[in-house]
Structure 1
Amino acid sequence: MTTKSLTEQLKHIKLLMKYAVPEEYSEEAMEFVQRFETDIIALNIFHAFYSYLPDAKDDAIRRFRIMARKQGTFLICAETIHAQYFYVTTSEQAEYLGSLSEGIWDQEVLDFFGYESRQTFLDKHHDTGKFPEYTPAYMNQALCPVCHTAEGELHFFGCPVEVCPWCGSQLTICNCRFETLGTNLLTGDQQLERLLEKLKEKGRVVFDPKNQNPTYIKDPGQLPEIE
């Protein structure tokens, strides 16, 4: 996401907060948002929360805790004035899952993170204080700076940091994707699906923070978007 996009999202979040945060908590809530002003993972949660207050009453996020993370997807607990709420979030969007009192009902999310059932999740996460506070993902050098996948995991398809398995350069820059499909231009979903199949056949290169962290990225606002 570009610096302009991050700035616009932050501006919109602050506008939403004017109508959502109790006056006595406004300064604290705003300071907490500012801590994550260049972190798209957190900004997506702020936007989702303040756009739709889960319990339909004024509230404010005071802390984030990370419950789980897999392939650039984060399971975050947002601790607020009144309760604790779970969100699944990526660099693209955040989705509300439920409160600590209810747990997570979405079986697809539970399966993705390896929980057998809603009760299994509740048993493990009934005390969220045991889990670490979330810090901006872009500050964690063990994660891909663009799609936030971890060491040994596959990048989001389209991530510009992914390495080409045919030539070893950046997959979104080299010509291998065109040569493999026998075309000069990728124009639709069918071609992208074919490319993904070819990559799987060849063997996609997993994220390696020692060799794949692009040193040209000095500021999170410079991060390219995943198309």
Structure 2
Amino acid sequence: MTSNQQDNFDTSSIFDTGNDPFSTTEYSNEQSGNESPTLDFGHLDRINPLTIAPALGVYAPGYGNSPEYLFAEDYTDYRKKSWGEQLMYWTGVSYLSGAVTGGSYGCIEGLRTSSGKSWKLRVNAILNASGRRGAALANACGILALMFSGFESIYDHYLGDDTVYNYALAGISAGLVYKSTAGLKPASIYSASLGLAGVLGIYAARQGMYGRRLQTLV
């Protein structure tokens, strides 16, 4: 290639970035000789920091705010709570969930049973029903979560690996103990229900079947 061919060589097809908002470099097509290309720093505000995360400490959407690991067992060790942390976490979450759910149901029940009465009587009926339903369901959920977490920690300690059998056995055991005085049929129903909840709920979530965000939560 001659000197004239080098001077007339069009570099636009190589360095043309079109409408790329992340490009900060613009090359002149009218360069001559050995003149170096010029850098345009006037569009640095168009750089999206999420494209170079986490180098700047920014986490892109969809990647979560948790560290990344090469091996699954490293992430499991990081995510796994101790038996005390798990006991308090699940008991508290279940108690609050039961209180909110039961209180909401009690509010609807109070509105329905006090229809046609004065506003003062309706408020009183709503408060009574919400307190009764909310307290009952919160206590039940808290006790079941306490039993489930305890049994799951015991099975995990003695059976070893974090397998699906641990969650199934924990749910069955919690249901049997909770309804042991109510007869065989209620105990069987609670055992089957808690076993399915442990397998399809907690175990599946911890395995990432419902997304990474829920996996880091449980």
Larger strand proportion of the pair: 1
TM band (smaller chain): under 0.3
Larger radius of gyration: 2
Higher RCO structure (Cα 8 Å, ≥6 apart) = 1
Compute the TM-score of the two structures, normalised by the length of structure 2. 0.23
